[in-house]
Amino acid sequence: MKIIARVAELSHRYKNSVALDDVALEIPAGRMAGLIGPDGVGKSTLLALIAGVRKIQYGSVQVLGRDMHRGLNRMVVGPRIAYMPQGLGRNLYMTLSVFENVDFFGRLFGHSKAQRAWRIHELLAATGLAPFADRPAAKLSGGMKQKLGLCCALIHDPDLLILDEPTTGVDPLSRRQFWQLIERIRGRREGMSVIVATAYMDEAERFDWLVAMDAGKVLASGTPAELKSRAGSDSLEAAFISLLPVEKRGRHQAVTIPPRQAQSGDAAIEADGLTRRFGEFVAVDRVSFRIERGEIFGFLGSNGCGKTTTMKMLTGLLPSSAGEARLFGQLADAREVDLRRRVGYMSQAFSLYSELTVRQNLALHARIFQLPRSQIEARVMEMVERFGLTEVIDELAEKLPLGVRQRLSLAVAVIHGPEMLILDEPTSGVDPVARDQFWQLLVQLSRDEGVTIFISTHFMSEAERCDRISLMHAGRVLAQDTPPALIKARGANNLEEAFIDYLEEAAGDNVVEAETPPQLPAQHGASQPRPRNAAFDPRRGWAYARRESLEIARDPIRIAFALLGPIILMIAFGYGITFDVEDIDYAVLDRDQTPESRQYLENFAGSRYFKQGPPLHDYRALDDRLRKAQLTFAIEIPPGFGKAIKRGRQPEVGIWLDGTVPFRAETARGYIFGVHQSYLEQQLRSEPGHSRQAAPVTIETRFRYNQDFKSVYSIVPGTIMMLLIWIPAMMTAAGVVREKEMGSITNFYATPVSGLEFLLGKQFPYIIIALINFATLVLLAVVLFEVPIKGSGAALLAGGLLYVIATTGLGLLMSSFMKTQIAAIFGTAIITTVPAISFAGLFAPVASLTPGAQVFAQIFPSSYFQQISLGTFTKSLGFESLLFNFAMIALLSFIYLVLGLTLLKRQEQ
């Protein structure tokens, strides 16, 4: 038996848990090998390690005969592996069209234009996606997304295809089509090995070879028949449960449902022509049903078929576009607070407070539902006992395993004793044992307490347990009846077949995806290029740049922020930040009232810097108006001022400044001295007797570069400096981290693109955007603020280009260690704002900074570009005076790139 992947002594830990515990495995080549087991047992980790996407912690992994520990081997083997991560369309780009998605992968593998066109055509035709080539990935159904993911994975004809739960959350028809597709591809490419993880046991039955996993360990491996015979059972599901350790299996018992006693009375839920549109998209289309009290009513359908939207309309979370829903005869309305007391709701994703303990979550809900204070404690304990949460009562909800969490959600939903439960896919992702336990609780609630249960699921085995079910597809109800009646109506063997039959009928008049070409085109094996393993291939970088640009172009919020943000801020700053002194408010307390005092004061009244308010009459008024900030300063002329001047006895004028804002007080004081000085000079000149004593020294103050001393000539160039570090760095950082958050970073790990290609490709579109910003800002400066470029325009342009390369590079560097977009945005903003505002010479020149602050000025490009911007705009400088600044920015860009490259992870940790 040939081996495709060999794993030995493999262990992997996450912060709080062990994902893989000393696993040893040999996976046969040329087969369809399956990994089975519930969620969270280490299947995904194992697959990611085999794919070389995740970093090996302990143990060894050999794939295609190469040790995956070594980066060089991964470079060689990588292009022969294709990896499709878990989650619907996880490796896709949702705003890109079907064609663009596949095209991107083709470019990453260095295919020529003609090759791409032909291969994409072939793949799309084979998967039935050809009619939807222009549709954005986000608008595809779950099944179509998975097929598209497969196209992207297959574009380079891999020898090993790794699929992580490719059919979870996909409708049965699409699932069947998906496996047929895989079969055809394997038929075409003989020798291709496939490793699949799945939670569906019925799928696993059809695989060649299986590995059963639980809690990071391998329980058993072999063909499905071997596993079943070893456990002595006829179904794989039963075999799996019997393979589990005793303590896990112990609690398990088969779910039995006692027949429902028909209840009289009005309906619990009645929907009539319920419709919901989102723009043009009809999510729910004229859905009607009637559910009786005490009934378990199942809602069956794939992800995105409208189940959740319908349920939200029933709870009043979403208003309906048309039609109406009644609960207990009352209209479901957001404002009906009292109705909510009779309903319990569990949303699709876990939606309790994960940062609260089990007890706190239960108590919070009990209090909000106004259970009597004295009963809360007892009710919480009752729920804890009934739902088997006693052992975890003081654990944080986030620390609970998925199955236990779902029990907690149910406990919370029933704590107020509702008459009806609306449960949206409560068992999705939960292992079979825990799922059965959950259903036992539901049966009790329904049969013993008469609670009406409205539940959605995509598990057929659960649907079979419902009193009645409704099959939903693409927003419409296809059929509605008891499960046996539905099976009978279609003459099918089981519910799944019946559902597929209904789906095919629905698709028939809709021409959806079922269409597959009768014959697969012949293999053009000879034309298939092996990707070049060059260390740097500009085509791969360009693939990233092109894709990033497309994504940005389709995100109106990011575009608006990137293009309008700088304009708005520039206008606000240009007008708002000013040190110009005009109209300083002052008032006079003239206790002399002589011609001499009035002559002295005239100098102030005549200055354009000052604005005189009503005169003051006493100290109280003076203090009062200073306190109310109506005055910046007050002038006090003492009694006998005039007489003292005449007698040459130097009277003393008092100035009272508001010292609250020290800078403003200092500025005012400077101007006051100026006026005072000019008064003295006037006096000297007017009195001939004093003229010889006139100081013969003139201090000639030359305000250079900015003769009028206007803020705008300095602040506007400075604002360009500030905005061009702030926004480009933030945008770039968020752009890379976004891929980490969305999961598409996996494509970087799994394809032959190198770190340098990735970084430069990601950076390129942001440089272009930043250059557009730069051009707009310069235009605003010249046209709106009338700040002319007095120096070399070419130097400004060159400086701007270098600067945005540096600032986007800084953003890339930041992104290499940020994990979430919000952290990238705020982290980058905080890191860039302080150097730009305080340490770049915007207000105070770098030369007057403390030595410590000067270090900051030197490691950020802002201080150098400030010189260039200010130099070319206001100081009339050219290239030669600014050479040092150019050199420093270029050096910093290079350092950022090298650091970013060093810190960029080539694998998931």
Nearest distance from C-beta of residue 320 to another protein, angstroms: 12
CA distances from 462 to 103, 168, 183, 442 (A): 40, 15, 28, 11
d(CA 787, CA 794): 16
SS3 711: coil
Least CB distance to another protein at residue 677 (A): 8
Q: Considering the complex, what minimum distance in angstroms separates the CB of residue 92 from another protein?
A: 14
Complex with another protein: residue 60 or 95, whichever CB lies closer: 95
Nearer to another protein, 402 or 829 (CB): 829
Tell me the longest C-alpha to C-alpha distance in the chain.
Answer: 127
The nearer residue to another protein, 106 or 811, going by C-beta atoms, is: 811
State in angstroms the smallest separation of the CB of 884 from another protein: 8
- Residue with Cβ nearer another protein (207 or 454): 454
What sign for the dihedral angle of Cα 557, 559, 560, 565? positive
Mapped onto helix, strand or coil, the DSSP state of residue 238 is: helix
Three-state SS sequence of 53-70: CECCCEEEEEECCEECCC
- Token output for 580: 């110009």
φ and ψ at residue 178, rounded to 5 degrees = -60, -45
Q: Vertex 137, ends 131 and 142: CA angle to 5°?
A: 90
Rounded to the nearest whole angstrom, what is the least distance from the CB of residue 462 to another protein in the complex? 22
Determine the Cα–Cα distance for residues 490 and 479; give it in Å rounded to an integer: 11
Query: Which H or E element spans position 424?
Result: strand 420-424
Alpha-helical runs (H) found in 334-449? 337-340, 358-368, 373-386, 402-414, 432-443, 449
CB 907 within 8 A of CB 55: yes
Beta carbon of residue 699, minimum distance to another protein (angstroms, whole number) = 5
Q: Which residues contact 456 (CB under 8 A, 6 or more apart)?
A: 298, 299, 300, 301, 307, 308, 311, 423, 424, 425
How far is Cα 782 from Cα 790, in angstroms, rounded to an integer?
A: 11
> What does the block give as tokens for 874?
């206001």
CA distance 749 to 560: 31
**Closer to another protein at the Cβ: 222 or 640?**
640
Nearest approach in angstroms of CB 249 to another protein is: 33
Shortest Å, Cβ 655 to another protein: 4
Nearest distance in Å: CB 163, another protein: 23
Q: Which is nearer to another protein, 143 or 718 (CB)?
A: 718
What residues have CB less than 8 Å from 874, skipping those under 6 apart? 705, 706, 713, 714, 717, 787, 790
Query: In the bound complex, what is the minimum distance in angstroms from residue 737's beta carbon to another protein?
Result: 9
CB-nearer residue toward another protein: 242 or 711: 711
Whose Cβ is closer to another protein: residue 353's or residue 542's?
353
Residue closer to another protein by CB (options 51, 413) is 413
CB 413 within 8 A of CB 444: no
CB nearer to another protein: give 385 or 583: 583
**Of 243 and 616, CB closest to another protein:** 616
Say which residues have a Cβ less than 8 Å from residue 811's Cβ, sequence separation at least 6: 728, 729, 730, 731, 732, 733, 735, 736, 766, 828
The nearest distance, CB 560 to another protein, in angstroms, is 9
